[in-house]
Chains A and B, each alone.
Chain A
Amino acid sequence: MKKTISINISEIMFNIDEDAYHKLYNYLKTIRGYFSSSDGRDEIMSDIESRIAEMLQPKVTDAKQVINIVDIDEVIAIMGEPEEYLDDEMREEREQRQSRSSRQTKRLYRDGEGNWLGGVCSGVGYYLGLDPLWIRLLLVFVLFASFGIGFLVYIALWIVIPEAATTAEKLEMKGEPVNVSNIGKTIEEELENIDVRFDRFTEGARNFDSRRYSKSAKNFFESLGDFILKVIKLVVQVFGKVLGGAFVIFGIVFIVFFILGLLGMSNSFFSFQQHFTNQELGLFFFQYESDLIFAAIGAFLFFGIPIMALIYGGLKLLLNFKAEFRGMGWIAAGLWFAGLVLLAFSGVRTARGFAFEDSVSETMALDSIPSDTVILNLGTNRFAKGPLRKRHLSRGEFVRIEDDRALISRPRVDIVRGEGPDFQVVLYRVSRGSSLQDARERASGIEYRLVQDGNELTFDRFSEIELSDQFRMQDLYIEVMVPNGKAVTLTDGMQQLTYDIGNVQDMYDHRMIGKTWTMTPEGLSCLTCETSD
């Protein structure tokens, strides 16, 4: 005695043996897997089923009321094996699709057949090449150790790891090469799966076979889990689109700003653009005009290519297109490398302009000073009006004024012991250049203003150069030489120019302000400090 199943093929009802049913079901499922919806799969399947129904009808008589497996075999013989369904053109397409997707490496799947619960341990066992028993022991151990929180991890893995449902996936899970037809998974298939398993589940309930019952129940929940997995995959795909969009937007914004910056139209990139246009900046800095162009192009390629790759990746995520121009990756890499070379080239050439450093010193001619004390003042900020108001020029910052001059850096003032009987001020102008002589010439181009009024010396806040002299890390050191027994007074503001003036009281510069210091054999000593200082 055998069990029969009642089926509907093309709106005709048949009773069919259980084993014949499975054979027919798998046959149809395999064929279905060959076609994508673009091939008109649904229509093809319904045509096929209609023909099968036509063929099966004559096989049912009063004497033989049920379709059996022999009937199905006959049908398959007439219709053909699934592989034969493909005409050569479609077979090529499929083979192309397959060769793109089949891989020979082992992948992590859940095992739907040898499983205890969700097949997680079994699948992991396959992947690692271990007996799942060890994995399960490990799992139990983890469950205990984590007070059951590990169970959540197991559920998460259950949801995330796909089950090896198709023959191809099962082979992949075990790490064997895939040479059987690969069946594309669709949500429809999954739902079908759930249907079938639910049927088995309800059958099991009806038959009161407790073992079958639990397995079918398990299968049902598994299918449910798979469905949830599909939903999660969908969410991830959506997220992928969002991410893609973000990439694209970010990349485009970046490139736009970069280009604008290069053209000198945007302020956002370089702070010294507030005072120079980019063109002038380039000429100011680079040794040769061509270096400016090289560096600009180089920078654009070097930064731009990765950004554009980002945009491209973002677009791919967003629009899901697979078009890839052969060799584009190579072209991009080549351009990027060219950008790197350009940057390096212009960088090296420019660096040669900074290779040497030299200084010139000048002892300033001072009118005779009527007193034993010299007062050091900070000059007014001549550029207090306009955009430079309240501007503190730190070392290395440079600023342009008028058409042909540039301000660079602050001079550094130091107070040292003078050998002779008189006060002296020595200026050390330092610059870099492409040779010692070049450095010296540029150094002499540093202009500085120091005003003497009786015993008051007023120091300018900034030193200047002509724009055409170019930026070459010019610097200015000023030594105020005070003979033993004579004194200096520092007024407010001088702390901007001084840098740790050595003194006997070991006071910080800003504390030295407003006091008079006399030069002693030990060093500068405070004259007007209270002893409690």
Chain B
Amino acid sequence: MKIENTKAQMRKGILEFCILSILAQGEAYPSDIIARMKEAKLLVVEGTLYPLLTRLKNAGILSYRWEESNAGPPRKYYQLTELGKKFSKELESTWEELHTAVNQVRNNEEPKA
């Protein structure tokens, strides 16, 4: 068993979920998203984000609008689409379920009522 593979398996999907969660709280620039994720130690390098954002946009989960900025090139301002909102909610509940299940297994906790 390769530890890297397992770690990767664990991380899969979480990045996307986090992006959706951040955007569920409001529109944001990519750099904002990156900053939040770095704060939470989810992301180490920025480069990972851009392909992800584009993929989510192509799948119709995100949309963006351009905003001019005086101090540089125009920037994309991302937001969730209706589909994205739906996805986000579903992922949230899945996350909750997983979280509960894993904790129970680890700690032999009683399931919360």
Contact = CB atoms under 8 A, between A and B. Distances in A.
B5 to A, nearest CB: 9
A280 interface: no
Contact of A47 (B11, B12, B30): B30
A511 to B, nearest CB: 91
Contact of B53 (A12, A47, A79, A90): A47
Interface in A296-319: none
A85 B47 CA distance: 5
A40 B48 contact: no
B37 interface: no
A37 to B, nearest CB: 12
B76 interface: yes
A90 B47 CA distance: 13
Contacts of A89: 12
B3 interface: no
The dominant DSSP class at the A interface is helix
27 contacts: A12-B72, A12-B73, A31-B47, A39-B54, A40-B51, A40-B54, A40-B55, A40-B58, A44-B51, A51-B46, A53-B72, A57-B71, A78-B45, A78-B46, A79-B46, A79-B47, A80-B46, A80-B47, A81-B45, A84-B44, A85-B45, A85-B50, A86-B48, A87-B48, A87-B51, A88-B11, A89-B12
Q: Which one of A12, A39, A89 has the highest number of Cβ atoms from chain B below 10 Å of its Cβ?
A: A89
A11 B58 CA distance: 24
Interface in A241-264: none
> Lowest 9 CB-CB distances: which A-B pairs, in order?
A80-B45, A80-B47, A85-B47, A40-B54, A88-B8, A79-B47, A47-B50, A10-B73, A84-B45
A419 B26 CA distance: 124
Interface residues of A, number: 28
A53 B47 contact: no
Contacts of B54: 39-40, 43-44, 47
A53 B73 contact: yes
B46 A35 contact: no
Nearest to B58: A40
B47 A84 contact: yes
A44 B50 contact: yes
A73 interface: no
Interface in A423-456: none
A131 interface: no
A48 interface: yes
B98 interface: no
A43 B58 CA distance: 10
Given A47-B76, A82-B47, 9 more contacts: A39-B54, A39-B55, A40-B55, A48-B47, A51-B31, A57-B71, A79-B47, A80-B45, A87-B12
Interface in A174-194: none
B44 to A, nearest CB: 7
A285 to B, nearest CB: 66
B89 interface: no
Interface in A223-255: none
Interface in B1-47: 8-9, 11-12, 15, 30-31, 44-47
B73 A50 contact: yes
A77 to B, nearest CB: 8
A54 interface: yes
Contacts of A44: 50-51, 54
Contacts of A79: 45-47
Nearest to B10: A88
B48 A85 contact: yes
Nearest to A35: B51
B75 interface: yes
B52 interface: yes
Q: Which one of B15, B58, B73 has the highest number of Cβ atoms from chain A below 10 Å of its Cβ?
A: B73
